Amino acid sequence: MFSQIYHFMPTISLRGQACPPSPIRKLVPYSDEAKLKGITVYHLNIGQPDIETPANVLEKIRNTDLKVIEYSHSAGILSYRKKLAEYYLQAGISVTPDQMIVTTGGSEGILFTMLACLNPGDEVIIPEPFYANYNGFAVAAGVVVKPIPSYIDDGFALPPISAFEEAITPKTKAILLCNPNNPTGYLYSREELEFLRDIVKKHDLYFFVDEVYREFCYDGHQHHSVMNLEGIDQNVVLLDSISKRYSACGVRIGVMISKNKEIIATALKFAQARLSPPTFGQIAGEEAVNTPESYLVNVLEEYVRRRDIVVESINRMDGCYCPNPGGAFYAVARLPVDDSDKFCQWLLEEFSYEGQTVMFAPATGFYSTPGRGKDEVRISYVLNVSDLKKAMKCLEEGLKVYPGRKKS
């Protein structure tokens, strides 16, 4: 008989160990603690707008009279895909229902795309900073992210061609871009997209482009879709979602689109494995296409007001800098702090101003290169003008007393 009972702990997968925590959500326990103390927390850490979802969408959900909530087609309800084709045509993009797979949020579309197009060990080039969850999807797919740095001092413009050429290896298989960009708000021009198109053609790469913020382009600038770049139809995958466009993040409905039949057929196998996207989300998405144009016009005007408050407020603060975003509803700001992770936690754990504080996402989580973003934060200007002004005041007052403030 054994004189001692041994307990063996199973080991967590290397994949699980490698998956990074979300910089957007990892400080939530500290915000929860602050709220328990009675402190008001202004959430500028996450892209969750306080703008109301269109009334017609909410009404459609309330009045849906289904006797059985069935599985849909794995590629999505056909009537919804037809409706999406109408939406894209209005946006100057010509696609058909059989070139789409409806996904559970844009996130699933990104993962399906990587799984369908890339092998474990393949490399994908992404200008950094980039949406933090791209790292998580890459880990899940066994894909290696090759970051190319962009810089706050030039507004996070697309890096030069030499940077891309130097990053390309025999293992490079794709370029991934978010336009307009999360987290920087940078809006890529037609010339920049054509520059990437030429690289894609030269090296026969895939081009994955996340266009979920298409409607949010400011100062008279237009959005240019990857689907309209000539000569790379078979290389392109468009990724999209209704979450931001219609302030319907919880609906969890996205779409991946490609004119490459093999990509769609392969991704459909992964879609079949997860059975189908959410039924009620697709019902909401189909109705969302009917949303009056005035809704998006008003939302755009509101985001411009919010952007201006954030950018102007930060640039008035001593030692701070925030470039003016051309799209989306994010900005990255450089602050005079020793460590943005520590600073963001300190704001929640140790600081309040008149019973209020503010929550940001440390920018370190949006970089793949170690050490970058240590003095930067991502700001989601998704709250109303009044709350944004209060949040900016909290930031200003917090910087005055933060123990790790850098000297000017």
pLDDT at 407: 83
Residue 364 gets the label, from left (phi > 0), alpha (psi -120 to 50) or beta, of alpha
Q: Between residues 10 and 102, which one has the greater pLDDT?
A: 102
pLDDT at 224: 98
Tell me the C-alpha distance between 71 and 365, whole Å: 36
pLDDT surpasses 70 at 322: yes
pLDDT at 166: 96
Mean pLDDT, residues 219-226 = 97
pTM beyond 0.85? yes
124 touches 145 (CB < 8 A): yes
Mean pLDDT, residues 25-41 = 95
pLDDT at 223: 98
Mean pLDDT, residues 14-31 = 88
Q: 23: pLDDT confidence band, cut at 50, 70 and 90?
A: confident
pLDDT surpasses 80 at 4: no
Domains of the chain, CATH where assigned: 14-52+294-401 (3.90.1150.10), 68-288 (3.40.640.10)
pLDDT at 3: 52
Q: Which residue stretches of 158-260 are H helix?
A: 161-167, 190-203
Burial class (CB in 10 A: 0-12, 13-18, 19+), 7: exposed
Mean pLDDT, residues 322-331 = 98
222, two tokens: 């237009």
Find the radius of gyration of the CA atoms of the chain.
22
pLDDT surpasses 80 at 74: yes
Tell me the C-alpha distance between 241 and 211, whole Å: 8
Strand runs labelled E in 141-235: 144-149, 172-178, 206-210
Mean pLDDT, residues 256-278 = 98
Helix then strand then coil, in percent of the chain rounded to 5, is 40, 15, 45
109 touches 101 (CB < 8 A): yes
Tens digits of residue pLDDT in 158-181: 999 999 999 999 999 999 999 999
Q: 1: pLDDT confidence band, cut at 50, 70 and 90?
A: very low
pLDDT surpasses 50 at 323: yes
Identify the residue whose tokens are 């933060």: 402
Tell me 329's DSSP state. T
pLDDT surpasses 90 at 6: no
Q: 20: pLDDT confidence band, cut at 50, 70 and 90?
A: confident
Q: 21: pLDDT confidence band, cut at 50, 70 and 90?
A: confident
101 touches 75 (CB < 8 A): yes
Full strand arrangement of the beta sheet holding 376-380: 330-334, 376-380, 361-362
Closest CA to 27 of 380, 403, 360, 396: 360
Choose the weakest-confidence range: 13-22, 72-81, 214-223: 13-22
Q: 9: pLDDT confidence band, cut at 50, 70 and 90?
A: confident
Tell me the C-alpha distance between 233 and 280, whole Å: 32
% of residues, the chain, pLDDT over 90: 94
Mean pLDDT of the residues in the chain: 96
Tens digits of residue pLDDT in 87-135: 999 999 999 999 999 999 999 999 999 999 999 999 999 999 999 999 9
Mean pLDDT, residues 375-404 = 98
